[in-house]
Structure 1
Amino acid sequence: MTDTIDTQTDTTAGSPAGTPAASPEERPWLDPRLPVAERVELLLGEMTLEEKAGLFFHTMMTMSPDGELADANPQFGLPSTHEYVVEKHMNHFNLLSVAPDGRTMAQWHNRIQELAASTRLGIPVTISTDPRHSFTDNPGAALMAGPFSKWPEPLGLAATRDAAIVEQFGDVARREYTAVGIRVALHPQVDLATEPRWSRALQTFGEDADLTGELGAAYVRGFQGTTDGGTFGPGSVSTMVKHFPGGGPQKDGEDPHFAYGREQVYPGGRFDLHLEPFKAVFAAGARQVMPYYGMPVGTEHEEVGFGFNRSVLTGILREQLGFDGIVCTDWGLVSDAEIFGTPFPARAWGVEHLTPEERVVKILDAGADQLGGESCVDLLIGLVRDGRVTEDRLDVSARRLLREKFELGLFEDPYVDVEAAAAVVGAPELVAAGEAAQRASLTLLTHAGGVLPFAPTTKLYVEGVDAEVAGRYGTVVATPAEADLAVLRLHAPYEDRGSVFENFFHAGSLEFPDDVLDHVREVAAAVPTVADVFLDRPAILAPLAETAAAVVANWGASSGALLDVLSGAVPVQGRLPFDVPRSTAAVEASRPDVPFDTEDPLFRFGHGLSL
């Protein structure tokens, strides 16, 4: 792809009009000639306890749709931006909302940096985000793409089997992120999807440790701008790799966002296998880590959530693997909350009996540097004043957190160029690269009867496909009886759970409901049918394979991308990133920590047909 737009050369020099720039004489840590370590110590020596405590909280923030700083948000239980930055001294935020265009997002970013510059020490804000470039419908795991280019989910990137595509994605996302001031990616997710029912498989690179490590490393290089020997710095997006030490081995496939999914189990004794992808991304330069909610059961480690687990965070991560970057807990380990009107307890698995103060002490003792999704700054200040946490302990983490801001270049220039952001975000060549990746990820699982590729004269009956787009590939008709070929887009099955938030996490049965299968059979009885499945988990596809003339797997692809492949305009290239089980019984009999453990799978890892 031609690299015609790069925000590393399109940022403003200096601050927006009306914001006075501090000098190195006033604030010596602003002198770029000094080593970063010296600058950190100069700033740390000036900070009050309250200002240090603010560094330790990395929580959610919204923007107004017009790019103004947000007032208090009762829906999400969030205070105003002013309260966060000025009163609580906080300066790490996960941006929840998305504006309609890059210009508006950049304007908002500059406004929050102006607010940060007005504080006593002028410490700039670091903005982070969950994934924004793909098609997921789970805002608890990834946010809408909005104006950004659209790419397949990580499972789809894995289906391309192409590290160069993954690195290209990281580079494109880096340019779009930095254009609007986002400097930390709360991804990639290098967990191994070894339990087919687990709801978070979509954001992984699949089931294979070697492929996950290879693609995870490429992802990190692209985001951090370290391709071909490049260095981490002002043009980089720091990656927060998750979920250490691997979140795949969930008991019964349930997710530890919820109490019923808190246990991670290792009946196959493969705890160490799940560390392998982390080793690869650390070697590629990943700088931040997020431990998972889950608690290990039946291992040598304490049966508490990984964010509280000293033998995992200090023993394995810090000492065994030598990681000296930032460790930020997953969201909400300390405080109870309310989400979409439903009470939601803190994910303090194994330490539910501890008070919030005791939980914070245990998290810091475990070796974490930041509390994700929390803003209880006064609680931490009280622990220091009561002598339960030393200020020296705060300084250990504060050094890491300040170092990252300095190395990202935020102290030199925290602002972004609004006009450059308008040009970069959603630029045509970036959109085209994402669409090419969508096509490359599509995976043909079955093909009978020679119905593909279809001809331009084909009469098409479509469901879940944009009819206007389909009209460019054939003649769209109203019923299966009129058609030469039907194309049905389906979603992999999941169970309806008890709350709105739970239903964002597609969990439970992998079997299609009878009404869905009956409908496919009805259409297939009238006309040869292609079933395209959004395979966010490895569903039981045998009934579809028996009925449809062709079955396709996708992990985020537009109607045009799908029809390009089905019509033969581009070759089908994708390969499965996991095994597809033959039955529920095989899934239930498999060991959650062991890859490729379902007996006699319907399709094996790497399967994919050509036309």
Structure 2
Amino acid sequence: MTEPTERPWLNAELPVEERVELLLGEMTLEEKAGLFFQTMIVMGEGGELSEGDSAFGIPSNREYVVERHMNHFNLLGVAPKASDIAAWHNKLQELAASTRLGIPVSISTDPRHSFSDNPGATMFAGPFSQWPEPLGLAATRDAELVERFGDIARQEYTAVGIRVALHPQVDLATEPRWARQLQTFGEDAALAGELGAAYVRGFQGASFGPGSVSTMTKHFPGGGPQKDGEDPHFDYGREQVYPGDNFEHHLLPFEDIFAAGGRQIMPYYGMPVGTQYEEVGFGFNKDVLTGLLRERFGFDGIVCTDWGLVTDQPIMGADFAARAWGVEHLTPAERMVKILDAGADQFGGESETAMLIELVRSGEVSEERLDVSARRLLREKFALGLFENPYVDVAAADAIVGSAEFRAAGEQAQRASIAVLSNDGVLPLRAGLKLYVEGIDSEVAARYGEVVATPQEADAAILRLQAPYEQRATMFENFFHAGSLDFPEEVVAHVAEVAASVPTVVDMFLDRPAVLGPLVDRASAVVANWGANAGALLDVLTGQASATGKLPFDVPRSMAAVEASRADVPFDTADPLFRFGHGLSL
């Protein structure tokens, strides 16, 4: 082990700021440049280092760490065993320790704890405990539960070496069609701020330090008011609009995040239209990142851009236009300069270290400017205790991640999040009924009644459905559920057909506030979930668990009301079918 006298920044008795300066003074330009990039990384089979993934254009672990001097990575994919992730993480840290300065790696991740019937999403959760999506956490209205979730997720993340959470998302769901509401805390600014702050406290702990996970809250200054609800991952969704002149309202949850000690911020892709701010994407926007975030709010933490603003890297093999909205005409190098001038510290989803080095050597970016951000990035590593102990206990990982206690807490949260929206008296279902089910495994349903093959044989039917969305041209676009909130005629007709034969309960995965009227008119009961397994649902439907969930947004009465509403104004659809906070007891 290297002694602190050889690397004086390893002396833990010195103040962090002094340690930062000692290390920064030893760094070459190449080593500084490596700090500025956070991009996807993959692990090898069985916890080994990876030689890369050609399908996604991801180099080997060694090339990233040793050749490009990079040490911030977003872990892509997941292993079935927590101990494999932990073992890979330790090998990656050993690789980092072998470099000249031995700067440890910081591993980040997108959310990993949500329950989903989608096989791809479930695979992403892997060994971690499974909880409702953030909209479901919002439906519980329980800040203590959200903080408990954050604390459990913190323990599971740190057990495998993940030290940065690329979440929470405190955008306000004020545009009912917006594709990314599921990861928000809903439409109400006060609730989003309260729960977002609880989330941060859970992940970061009572005091920020070696046991913490640093949170990167997104998407400053609020990514919800998208024109027509389209998402700015795509050129047709690049405009963020404020017809209600309500820009300031979307900042409110971030004020709670700052008060809770949130450490990092990610701006969104969108470009503000018709405001006082420059009409360029927020990652390029000096008015927003320096004027608003740094100066008005006094934020001195890390700002990392959303992914792919510099080089227009394809996402999941799909070829899309630039996500550098308003500055599409700039070269990659010019975009890099503008991002740094705006006040950001890291380029998300990028690894072009040579480009940044050349900008400094050519005089277009000063090394002093690099030092400003490098100090923030190094400070975070020191504060997290990575220089003292970057390694994790591989043997303990499987016992911690997805423990029985943590899984039980996640399932209880799933039950608590389910909202009963309508009920003509069919709920709670009596024990021992003959049940016809769709979207529920018959073995699970058999624990609650006798499963039959047709509605005509049943005493009650339970149909699990997905809120509607429009099919788009590519697989990646279809990950973003966008477009009309009306159900297709065939879905309504099917519900009507089943309901004509037997009292029918419709359970809706309500990732967007669908126009539910046609189903409410036909079904005996309609309930909403935001990530709940079949057992959790049936516990609520049969009265074995209380129905406590409340809507985290208004449910509109029609698409005409949605189209007439203002994207930046909450609760703006006329005469909603169900109001924010609605939820029946059983």
TM-score, scaled to structure 1: 0.95
Question: Which residue number in structure 1 is paired with residue 343 of structure 2?
Answer: 367
* 1:296-350 Cα shifts (integer Å, max 9, x gaps): 0000000000000000000000000000000000000011223333213331000
Q: State percent identity of aligned pairs.
A: 75
- CA deviation after TM superposition for structure 1 residue 139, in Å: 11
Partner of 1:582: 557
Equivalent residue, structure 1, for 2:322: 346
Q: Hey, what does 1:7 align to over in structure 2? A: none
Is this contact kept in 1: 2:56–2:317, CA < 8 A? Answer: no
Q: Give matches, 1:437-586, under 5 Å.
A: 437-448=413-424, 450-586=425-561
Please state if 1:386 is matched with 2:362.
yes
CA-to-aligned-CA distance 1:421-464 (integer Å, 9 cap, x gap): 1110000000000000000000000001x211112210111111
* Residue type of the alignment partner of 1:309: N
Equivalents in 1 of 2:453, 2:13: separation in Å?
69
Deviation at 1:68, TM superposition (A): 1.2
Q: How has the CA–CA distance of structure 1 residues 405 and 137 changed in structure 2, closer, same or farther, with 3 Å as cutoff?
A: farther
User: Against the structure 1 CA distance between its residues 140 and 34, is the aligned structure 2 distance closer, same or farther, given a 3 Å change threshold?
Assistant: farther
Equivalent residue for 1:160, pick from 129, 140, 143: 140
Partners of 2:513 and 2:410 lie apart in 1 by: 24
SS in 1 for 2:499: helix
Q: Could you tell me which amino acid in structure 1 is paired with residue 52 of structure 2? A: A
CA distance in 1, matches of 2:276, 2:577: 36
Aligned to 2:221: 245
1:185-334 equivalent positions in 2, closer than 5 A: 185-226=165-206, 231-334=207-310
**Amino acid across the alignment from 2:366:** T
1:37 aligns with 2:17: yes
Task: Indicate the SS of the match to 2:508.
Answer: strand
Deviates more, 1:339-348 or 1:389-398: 339-348
What's the secondary structure of 1:243's corresponding residue? strand
Tell me the alpha carbon deviations over residues 23-71 of structure 1, each in whole angstroms, 9 at most, x when there is no partner.
1011110000000000000000000000000000000011123111111
Which residue does the alignment assign to 1:8? none
C-alpha separation between the residues in 2 aligned to 1:35 and 1:241?
A: 27
Q: 2:149 aligns with which of 169, 173, 176?
A: 169
Q: 1:332-370: CA deviations, max 9, x gaps?
A: 001122333321333100000000000000000000000
Q: Does 1:117 align with 2:97?
A: yes
1:201-239 deviation line (CA, Å, top 9, x unaligned): 00000000000000000000000012xxxx100000000
Q: Where does the alignment leave 5 or more consecutive residues of structure 1 unmatched?
A: 1-20
Cα displacement string for residues 464-519 of structure 1 (whole angstroms, at most 9, x for unaligned residues): 11211111111111111110010000000000001110000100011111111111
Q: Which amino acid aligns with 2:384?
A: L
Q: Could you tell me whether the CA contact under 8 Å between 1:140 and 1:501 is conserved in 2?
A: no
8 Å CA contact 2:116, 2:533 repeated in 1: no
* Contact 1:138-1:505 within 8 A present in 2 as well: no
Q: CA separation in 2, counterparts of 1:533 and 1:132?
A: 22
Amino acid at match of 2:252: E
Q: Distance in 2 between matches of 1:538 and 1:439?
A: 20
Describe the SS at the equivalent of 2:108. Answer: strand
SS at match of 2:290: helix
Structure 2 CA distance for aligned equivalents of residues 576 and 223 of structure 1 = 25
Given residue 214 of structure 2, which amino acid in structure 1 is its aligned partner?
S
**Partners in 1 of 2:43 and 2:437 — Cα distance?**
38
Q: CA deviation at 1:141?
A: 9.9
* Distance (Å, rounded) in 1 between the aligned partners of 2:473 and 2:81: 35
Counterpart of 1:74 in structure 2 is 54
Decide whether aligned partners of structure 1 residues 139 and 399 sit closer, same or farther in structure 2, where only a CA change above 3 A counts: farther
What pairs with 1:17-96 in structure 2 (closer than 5 Å)?
21-96=1-76
Q: Aligned partners of 2:118, 2:339: CA distance in 1, in Å?
A: 28
User: Contact 1:131–1:143 at 8 Å: present in 2 too?
Assistant: no
- After superposition, what is the alpha-carbon deviation per residue over 1:77-112, rounded to whole angstroms, capped at 9, x for unaligned? 111111100000000000011010111110011010
The 2-side partners of 1:142 and 1:435 are apart by 15
What code does the residue aligned with 2:533 have? S
Task: Tell me how far apart the structure 2 counterparts of residues 432 and 513 of structure 1 sit (CA, whole Å).
Answer: 37
Q: 2:332 aligns with which of 356, 381, 392?
A: 356
Rate the CA distance shift 1:52–1:140 in 2: closer, same or farther, 3 A: farther
Letter in 2 for 1:34: L
Q: Cα distance 1:464–1:76, how it changes in 2: closer, same or farther (>3 A)?
A: same
Map 1:360-439 → 2, pairs under 5 A:
360-439=336-415
SS at match of 2:56: coil
One-letter code of the match for 1:44? L
Number of equivalent positions: 586
Letter in 2 for 1:600: D
CA RMSD of aligned residues (A): 1.2
Is the counterpart of residue 107 in structure 1 residue 87 in structure 2?
Answer: yes
CA contact (8 A) 2:266 2:304 kept: yes
Q: In structure 1, what is the Cα distance between the partners aligned to 2:165 and 2:394?
A: 21
What's the secondary structure of 2:124's corresponding residue? coil
What does residue 131 of structure 2 align with?
151
SS at match of 2:46: coil
1:132 matched to 2:112? The reply is yes
Amino acid of the structure 2 residue aligned with 1:551:
V
- SS across alignment from 2:500: helix
Deviation at 1:135, TM superposition (A): 2.9
> What SS does the corresponding residue of 2:360 show, helix, strand or coil?
helix
TM-score normalised by length of structure 2: 0.99
Q: Which moved more, 1:397-406 or 1:73-82?
A: 73-82
Asked whether the equivalents of residues 454 and 566 of structure 1 are also in contact (C-alpha less than 8 Å), the reply is yes
